[in-house]
């Protein structure tokens, strides 16, 4: 059975729109770039991923608890975290087209072009240069020098007419309260959810009866005014993160970091992602932030190349120490067992929910030839599928409709299902294949006497005849035993 894999995001973008997974924000007004809305199928998929993550963090670990912090936070938080000073991307403008680019990304693209041309030696040399582009201070000058020396042209206009490289802060700023608009009222939309966890660390310690090591998990929106955001939900200006900060005794951090890195890779596999499309990419030691003791990306092989879906970081005691200094409040923990005080180290797992949705969609997408015909199918893990079963009367006639409605009512107790009686049965199967629905239940005249129905499986299109009373059990067993093929 021939299978087509994706070489760009185009098919996912168009399926997302046509089937109601993801729409561009404010589309009727021409859209708002890098902001997206989830449609009826998309919101179910997203919620199923959220629930799977939440369960993997809080439900199965008795030492991980959740919080849901507000998006607005005291402005001092972002001074303490270093975001006001350093959450920047280096940008450069093409003076002719007035388009803005990320200087480091321009160089990355140039390196890829060199590789395509077979000039690996030059590509390696530039990559090395890029990896060692000095301190944050000298970064702009270093990147500008590379762009000038290599005569890198603008991808859109082809011009070689650049501004200087400047740092651009990615935080969205607004004014808080209705009185005046001066610098005192400035407030930021949070660029990450993590700080909401750090500033609640003491509250959780005091109320949740947890002891180091323990974790705090959170799912929520984050906002970044990304310089370049043209890759669908991969890079958005408003997106969602699922983060867990694990507070550990200093000295145990390396072991915990290794453990979480593996645990998180396994979680991605448990979402039905093909293992060959996942890898761990450790950050080189000389690229780590000054406080970071280790960091790695979990990368997925998106149609746009290997890219980060999750970051795992050993952040030392940096964040809690900063908040201790800026707030004047003690962040120490008294370890009863060891009879000593310390500021815990933090191992962080930070995954983008929207990037996970995109990964899940890309990995599930198949085009297959079936008896000279073609079908598009999303082979989603059934536990993530937005609709678990389609329920069809073979034709629009009683008593088939009545029995189908009854099955729908029974299944609804446990699953999201869809009743559909319009169009040929083949068309109805195809519609559900595209929506990723793993099971279709068809009620026909043959089954009326012995109360049986046909269950059709999305992945191999096989059909079984089962008792109508057993469908819930069959679906439950199938979800449990499903594995990616």
Q: Least Å distance between CB 224 and ligand ATP? A: 5
Q: How far is the CB of 305 from ligand ATP (least distance, A)?
A: 12
Using CB under 6 A as the binding criterion, the count of chain residues that bind ligand ATP stands at 16
> Number of C-alpha atoms within 13 angstroms, CB side, residue 81?
21
Going from the C-alpha of 461 to that of each of 64, 426, 430, 454, the distances in angstroms are: 41, 11, 10, 12
Under the binding rule (CB under 6 A), the answer on residue 94 touching ligand ATP is no
Query: Rounded to the nearest whole angstrom, what is the least distance from the CB of residue 69 to ligand ATP in the complex?
Result: 16
Compose the 38-77 pattern: x for residues touching ligand ATP by CB under 6 A, - for all others.
----------------------------------------
**How near is the Cβ of 404 to ligand ATP at its closest, in Å?**
40
Among residues 227 and 364, whose Cβ is nearest to ligand ATP?
A: 227
Residue among 394, 444, 452 nearest 423 (CA):
394
Name which position in 36, 38, 239, 260 contacts ligand ATP (CB under 6 A): 239
Smallest gap from Cβ 440 to ligand ATP, in A, equals: 33
Beta strand 439-443 pairing with 389-393? parallel
Beta carbon nearer to ligand ATP, 171 or 208:
171
Looking at residues 277 to 336 of the shown chain, list those that interact with ligand ATP (rule: CB under 6 A).
308-311
Q: Where are the alpha helices (DSSP H) in 55-165?
A: 75-80, 83-86, 103-116, 120-131, 136-149
| Sign of the four-CA dihedral 226, 230, 234, 240 | positive
348 lines the binding site for ligand ATP (CB under 6 A):
no
Chain position whose Cβ is nearest to ligand ATP:
352
For ligand ATP, what does the binding mask look like between residues 157 and 196, x meaning CB under 6 A? -----------------------------------x----
Q: Rounded to the nearest 10 degrees, what angle do helices 40-54 and 353-364 cross at?
A: 110
Please identify, among the stretches 65-73, 277-285, 347-355, 370-378, the one whose residues bind ligand ATP according to the rule CB under 6 A: 347-355
Q: Of how many residues is the chain composed?
A: 485
Longest dimension (CA), the chain: 81
351 binds ligand ATP per the rule CB under 6 A = yes
Q: Which is nearer to ligand ATP, 306 or 445 (CB)?
A: 306
In the block, tokens 């973008």 appear at 13
Query: Which stretch in 152-160, 198-206, 232-240, 446-454 sits in contact with ligand ATP by CB under 6 A?
Result: 232-240
The total of other beta-carbon atoms located within 10 Å of residue 436's CB is 27
Residue 226 binding ligand ATP, by CB under 6 A: yes
- Whose Cβ is closer to ligand ATP: residue 192's or residue 420's? 192
Q: Binding to ligand ATP by residue 350, rule CB under 6 A?
A: yes
Considering only the stretches 20-28, 208-216, 349-357, 393-401, report the one whose residues sit in contact with ligand ATP under the rule CB under 6 A: 349-357
CA torsion angle for 286, 152, 143, 281 (degrees, to 10)?
A: -20
User: Which residues, in sequence order, are CB contacts of 60 under 8 Å at separation 6+?
Assistant: none
Among 142, 253, 319, 354, binds ligand ATP (CB under 6 A): 354
| Closest CB to ligand ATP among residues 219, 435 | 219
Rule CB under 6 A: choose which of 81, 195, 241, 442 binds ligand ATP. 241
Rounded to whole angstroms, how far apart are CA atoms 72 and 57? 25
Nearer to ligand ATP, 19 or 224 (CB): 224
* 73 close to 196: Cβ distance less than 8 angstroms: yes
Q: 475: which residues sit within 8 A by CB, 6+ positions away?
A: 382, 388, 389, 411, 415, 439
Closest to ligand ATP by CB, 50 or 416: 50
Least Cα distance to 359 among 311, 312, 308 occurs for 308
Q: Pick between residue 268 and residue 430 the one whose CB is nearest to ligand ATP.
A: 268
Could you write out the DSSP letters of every residue in 15-59? HHHHHTSEEETTGGGT--TT-EEE-HHHHHHHHHHHHHHHIIIII
Interface residues toward ligand ATP, by CB under 6 A: 192, 224, 226, 235-236, 239, 241, 308-311, 350-352, 354-355
């Amino acid at each position: 059975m021939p299978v087509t894999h994706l070489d760009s995001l185009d098919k996912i973008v168009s399926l997302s729109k046509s089937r109601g997974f993801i729409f561009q924000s404010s589309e009727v007004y021409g859209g708002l770039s890098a902001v997206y809305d989830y449609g009826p199928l998309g919101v179910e998929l997203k919620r199923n991923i959220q629930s799977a993550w939440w369960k993997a963090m809080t439900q199965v670990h008795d030492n991980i608890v959740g919080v849901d912090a507000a998006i607005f936070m005291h402005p001092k938080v972002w001074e303490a975290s270093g975001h006001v000073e350093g959450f920047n991307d280096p940008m450069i403008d093409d003076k002719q087209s007035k388009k803005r680019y990320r200087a480091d990304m321009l160089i990355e693209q140039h390196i890829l072009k060199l590789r395509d041309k077979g000039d690996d030696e030059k590509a390696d040399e530039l990559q090395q240069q890029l990896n060692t582009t000095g301190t944050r201070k000298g970064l702009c000058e270093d990147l500008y020098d590379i762009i000038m020396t290599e005569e890198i042209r603008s991808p859109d206009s082809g011009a070689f007419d650049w501004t200087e490289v400047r740092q651009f802060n990615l935080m969205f700023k607004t004014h808080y309260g209705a009185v005046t608009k001066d610098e005192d009222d400035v407030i930021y939309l949070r660029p990450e959810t993590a700080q909401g966890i750090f500033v609640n660390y003491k509250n959780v310690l005091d109320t949740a009866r947890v002891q180091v090591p323990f974790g705090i998990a959170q799912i929520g929106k984050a906002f970044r005014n990304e310089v370049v955001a043209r890759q669908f939900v991969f890079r958005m200006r408003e997106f969602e993160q699922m983060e867990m900060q694990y507070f550990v005794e200093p000295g145990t951090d390396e072991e915990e970091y290794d453990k979480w890195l593996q645990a998180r890779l396994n979680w991605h596999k448990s979402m039905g992602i093909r293992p060959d499309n996942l890898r761990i990419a450790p950050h080189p030691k000389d690229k780590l932030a000054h406080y970071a003791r280790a960091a790695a990306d979990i990368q997925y092989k998106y149609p746009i190349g290997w890219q980060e879906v999750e970051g795992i970081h050993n952040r030392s005691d940096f964040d809690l120490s900063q908040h201790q200094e800026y707030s004047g409040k003690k962040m120490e923990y008294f370890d009863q067992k060891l009879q000593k005080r310390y500021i815990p180290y933090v191992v962080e797992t930070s995954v983008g929910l929207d990037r996970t949705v995109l990964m899940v969609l890309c990995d599930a997408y198949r085009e297959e030839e079936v008896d000279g015909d073609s079908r598009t199918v999303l082979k989603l893990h059934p536990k993530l599928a937005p609709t678990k079963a389609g329920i069809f009367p073979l034709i629009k006639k009683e008593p088939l409709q009545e029995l189908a409605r009854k099955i729908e009512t029974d299944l609804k107790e446990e699953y999201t299902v869809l009743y559909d009686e319009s169009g040929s049965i083949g068309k109805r199967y195809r519609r559900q294949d595209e929506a990723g629905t793993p099971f279709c239940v068809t009620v026909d005249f043959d089954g009326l006497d012995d109360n049986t129905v046909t269950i059709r499986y999305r992945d191999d299109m096989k059909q079984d005849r089962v008792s109508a009373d057993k469908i819930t059990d069959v679906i439950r067993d199938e979800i449990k035993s499903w594995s990616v093929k």
